[in-house]
Amino acid sequence: MTERYPSLLQRLQTLAPGLPRAQQQVMAVWLQDPERALTMSVDALALQAGVSMPTIMRTARQLGFEGVREFKLALAQDLARHAPVHRSVTMSDSTTDIVQKILGGAAASITALQQQLDPVILEKAAQLLASAQRIDCYSVGATSAFMASDLQGRLFRLGRHAHAVHDAHQQLISAATLGPSGVAVAISHVGRMPFMLEAVGFARSQGAKVIAITQPDTALAQMADVVIGVSVPPDAVMRVGTEAYIAHLLVIELLMVLVLQALGPDAARHLAQFKSVLQAHGQDVDQHPTVDWAWSTVEKDTQT
């Protein structure tokens, strides 16, 4: 069927003007919202088009199908075949096209982010993080959970008392215990998950400050004390696409540099000391001592 109907929607647009008026009305319904048309019954289609149910059947047969069911199957295949796999990428794009579109889109989003971010807001958030006695990082879903864990790890290396809290129950416990000396960092691009909003509201009621990394127009943004707004073009497939992911990582990177500045030279020395300790114990080095030992063992076994 895929070969027989290479582009069904295009065929509908081409044939519609030459059909009787009643069948044109049916075509108009199918073309206006093909995804919705797939879920509509024959009587619902007839009501929407203002025609009789037999007219729906005749229209499908006029197109070469045995009935409405066969037409819907072909339409579903056509929509799947032409559905975008990325905001700007289609199934017919070459590898060169895909590289240019995805990387070009990411570069454009980063440039736009530079214009969106307010230095005053970033500095305010950094000062809160530098002075807080405890920082809890809230997340919703896999993507923001990674962001919260990354932020927690970076704060921890700067000597901050920080936690990443992914569970709704634990977020409420966190909110109840933060108090006026604590800061909650809520990370959610969508910014509308009820349990996170509940935790954020509770944290504020206990006197804690809330920093939100989210889109500017979300419910989370409206509840936070400091909002770091991140706006990127919507992804065609994922609710939180790669460009949003990259933008959030860059915001965290900016915050950590600003927090380091706010903490002063001692924090920079601590970072250097941590690196030296890890390297001395074979961590974060190009070649771990056990790797040298393993290779030497392999060489001995080979020689014998």
Q: Which residues of 79-95 are buried (b: 16+ CB within 10 A; e: fewer)?
A: eeeeeeebbbbeeebee
In this predicted structure, the answer to whether residue 46 has a pLDDT above a threshold of 60 is yes
Instruction: Report pLDDT digits (tens) over 2-23.
Output: 334 347 878 888 888 888 999 9
Average pLDDT value for residue range 190-206:
93
Report pTM. 0.65
Contacts of 230 (CB under 8 A, 6+ apart): 113, 116, 189, 213, 214, 215, 244, 247, 248, 251
> What is the enclosing helix (H) or strand (E) of 212?
strand 209-214
For the ranges 47-56, 96-105, 164-173, 222-231, which has the lowest average pLDDT? 96-105
What does the pLDDT read at residue 298?
54
